Amino acid sequence: MATPCNGGERLSGASGGAAEPRPKTLTELPAELLEYILCFPALSHTDICSVSRCCRRLHDVCHSSGKVWSHQYKLRWPRLQRLYRQNESYDWQKEYRTRHMVCLQIQRTVVSISKRFFTEVPCVGQVLGDSFTEIESLGAPEHFCEDELLSILNSDRRKSLTLKYYAKKILYFLRQQNILRSLKAFLERPPEEQSALEGAVLVDQYCNPLADVTLESISAQLNDITEKVKKYLRVKNASHPSLRTSQGDCLLVEDFELQRQVICALNAVLYEQLQFKGNECDYYNPLNSYIHQVLLRRTGIPISLSVLYMMLARKLGVRLEPVNFPNHFLLRWCQRQASSEDIYDYVYIDAFGKGKQLTAKECEYLIRQQVTADYYSSISTTELLLRMVGNLLNIGKRGEGNEKSYQLLRDSLDLYLTIDPDNVQYLLLQARLYFHLGIWPEKVLDILQHIQALDPSQHGAVGYLVQHTLEHIQHKRHPIEPEVKRRSAPEHCQVQYSVGLVMKHKRSGYNCVIYGWDPKCTMSQEWITTMRVHQLPNGANQPFYNVLVQDGTCRYAAQENLEPHSAPLEIAHPEVGRYFTEFTDTHYISNEELQTRYPDDTAETQRAVHELYHVNTPPNSGHPAAGPSADHTHHHAHNTSNTPPN
């Protein structure tokens, strides 16, 4: 029996032939379902842009503040999510566009720095001005730049090596600029609001800008140690007032016996339980000055251990003061109720010597010399930081003239001159260092002008540096065309190996990669004699190779001492990205700049790899740029000093 329908129509059965219901089109689906479809991970931002242009319905679904663009943004840049509040509305399409523009500008900046500094010591701050003005004009938050640099650094470990090399330098520079701003703000506070721990953390952060060092994490570690001391103290005196304090409380224990109990408990936990100690074996290691490394390695030098000891004592209600004692930093503990000027009213604590307590006379025995009463006075946090940075400066000046020691010297000079900007001695050292390294000549002139205004008696040294810096600037305006070495040249017929091959030194056993070569030794006669090159069977009249060594050094090796590595491996050298863009399991691929100087070596390396390891290598399609040619000699910083860190 037929069922009547509205309008007198009837539903047909199988014999009726009526049309089936029309399927819905995509645009007729509910908005929630469309959003779900458009959030499919395979769809890119270009796909979403194309979809939104199809019709008004899809354009509305893909509105800039909606779920679709929010998903695109979060999918591509997950690290940035912590910076957004969950319940607030954002223009996600605008955020995406700005972040994407930063990505493109950062990559252009990295490539431009690579091309400019292939034959020079990279000084990122010298060239970032114009490039980052463009980024700032986008109105982008600062964290967008950092996120893009981190994205580059966290990409495939073996690829984009040149991009990573310069991205790391830019990130290093940008973070240092932020830390310097924080340090300047710290120094502008009243002295009583300047924490020695916070100052030490800022020094640590500036010298290690790529490490994850925060005041919060350091404070948390000190709080953990404080709790251990309280636990020890509770066994000795369950009613001790220090046990009633919580984190952030400002307690001051007045009774000397109760103070003594805190000091004894602190010594027991710090030196016996946790095994903190002075680093006598590797005293000049800069890690001894970085507070996060002192906590990690449980060793340091007198000043870093004193900062740690002083802050722990303060958390437990005992006030100790820093003492700028020569060659050995100390703390002093007043034995009277009121502050005293008499040096004999204090006990002096040697944090480097496991908390040993000394009299004023015993302090002189410690350094084997007599000193005046002034040296027993307490110092401010600013003076403490100058002493700490001064130690790092002296370590940098003692260095071996490699990039690591130069970086430490540059960083510690930056810090020292931020704290004491009119120190003529260190301003002159900074100018000489930059001049010696051939970097940032415009800044050298600014420094020299400042020195001349502060101390006209320095006109001799200033005049010499000004003259030669101006010559350097003039020389840079007319750069010399790079030397191109073709393997087909008759004088290169003896060169067996090519750029990018992973080698092993026959005598020393080290692993390395070739980044340059000469048909014969080009070093001075003095170097040839010192390195006993004349004792080699082929002497200096054989090809020599510039190599990056696994231990982080750069060497100049004779052909007869090298052989292809039987099982090529990555060379963990900090300068690899300056010359190469990729490691392919058998060899390194030269970047654009290195290929320009050795145009025939790419094909020769591929031929050698096929012959040595029986693998086919795809032809190199070219990669973005990178770094400078080899510097065979080790530079030494001016005004070196053997003053120990303390």
pLDDT digits (tens, 9 = 90+) for 555-586: 999 999 999 999 999 999 999 999 999 999 99
CATH architecture of 396-477: Alpha Horseshoe (1.25)
pLDDT score at 577: 94
Distances (CA, A) of 503 to 264, 305, 587, 618: 57, 44, 10, 21
What is residue 114's predicted lDDT score, i.e. its pLDDT? 75
Sorted by where each begins, the domain ranges of the chain are 28-76, 93-188, 196-385, 396-477, 490-614
| pLDDT tens digits, one per residue of 210-232 | 999 999 999 999 999 999 999 99
Tokens read off for 302? 């007198």
What are 330's strand-pairing partners?
323
Mean pLDDT of 59-73: 91
Contact 322, 329 (CB under 8 A): yes
Q: How confident is the model at residue 494 (pLDDT cuts 50, 70, 90)?
A: very high
Q: By three-state DSSP, how is residue 134 classified?
A: helix
Q: What is the C-alpha to C-alpha distance for residues 558 and 553, in angstroms, rounded to an integer?
A: 16
Instruction: Determine the number of helices (DSSP H) and then strands (DSSP E) in the chain.
Output: 23, 13
Dihedral, CA of residue 536, residue 537, residue 539 and residue 541, to nearest 10 = -150
For the CA atoms of 298, 302, 304, 306, what is the dihedral angle to 10 degrees?
100
Mean pLDDT, range 255-269, rounded to an integer: 96
Rounded to the nearest integer, the mean pLDDT of the chain is 87
Task: For 578-628, write each residue's pLDDT tens digit.
Answer: 999 999 999 999 999 999 999 999 999 999 999 999 877 655 444 443 333
Q: Which amino acid is at 248?
A: G
Beta-carbon count within 10 A of 228 CB: 18
> What is the model's pLDDT at position 128?
57
- Assign a CATH topology to domain 490-614: SH3 type barrels. (2.30.30)
Question: What token pair was written down for 57?
Answer: 């319905």
Confidence (pLDDT) at 120: 61
Contact 613, 568 (CB under 8 A): yes
Q: Is the pLDDT of residue 643 over 50?
A: no
**What is the distance between the alpha carbons of residues 549 and 601, in angstroms, rounded to a whole number?**
20
476 pLDDT band, cuts 50/70/90, is confident
Please provide residue 558's backbone torsions phi and psi, each rounded to the nearest 5 degrees. Answer: -70, 145
